[in-house]
Amino acid sequence: MQKSRILDSSNRKIIVLLFSIFLVSQSGMAAEAYPQLKLPVKKISFCGLDYIAWVAKTDKDRQRGLMGFRPLKKKEAMLFLFEESEPRNFWMKNVPYDLDIAFFSSDKKLVSFMTMKGTSPMVNELALPTYSSEEAAQYAVEVAGSTLKNLKKKCSLSFN
């Protein structure tokens, strides 16, 4: 008779941590784990939700996004700042957990939002789906998956 093992909370956390370390080592960032933590942070609010957000405002930081980063906690986010308002496309390269993304116009009004599905690091870049704003956007915010499912379309983004 074989005993089955159920993963308890602490074992799941260890597995997620090990998988995150694997992703970092595979993405060429092993020498500097979680460079996102060195980004500036801002308090942001939108649609009645408050977050502390890492700010990605350079091409390099926006391209890296949350790649190889640990799962976001409840009140954590990443804010993407762009110079111009235009249609935006995001993907989930080396992000193994779901994220919600909200796109905002140049006047910080909500344009669209959706859930982006986590992917395996083994997925070929060409096979990764893209997630696009419904209209031109100058700002995007990523938060933990399933956070925005009841979001109302008429709201604004604010940050200091």
Report the CATH number that the domain containing residue 152 is assigned in CATH. 2.60.120.1140
Does residue 30 have a pLDDT over 60? no
Q: Which residues pair with 86 in a beta bridge?
A: 137
DSSP state of 69: P
pTM of the entire predicted model = 0.79
* More confident of the two residues 110 and 3: 110
d(Cα 100, Cα 116) in Å, to the nearest integer? 6
Residue pLDDT, tens place only, 37-51: 899 999 999 999 999
Task: Give domain status of residue 4, yes or no.
Answer: no
Task: Give domain status of residue 20, yes or no.
Answer: yes
Mean per-residue pLDDT, 9-19: 58
Q: How many domains, in total, are found in the chain?
A: 1
Tokens of 15: 């597995």
Task: Give domain status of residue 109, yes or no.
Answer: yes
Task: Give domain status of residue 3, yes or no.
Answer: no
Task: Give domain status of residue 119, yes or no.
Answer: yes
Does residue 25 have a pLDDT over 80? no
Q: What is the pLDDT of residue 148?
A: 93
- Give the rounded percent of residues in the chain with a pLDDT score beyond 70: 80
Task: Give domain status of residue 137, yes or no.
Answer: yes
Locate tokens 């956390």: which residue?
13
Does residue 129 have a pLDDT over 90? yes
Mean per-residue pLDDT, 126-149: 96
Which residues are CB-contacts of 91 (< 8 A; sequence separation ≥ 6)? 116, 128, 129, 130, 131
> Is the CB of residue 34 less than 8 Å from the CB of residue 74?
no
| Domain range enclosing 47 | 9-159
Task: Give domain status of residue 112, yes or no.
Answer: yes
Task: Give domain status of residue 79, yes or no.
Answer: yes
The mean pLDDT value of the chain amounts to 87
* More confident of the two residues 15 and 61: 61
Stretch among 8-12, 64-68, 121-125, 144-148 having the lowest mean pLDDT: 8-12
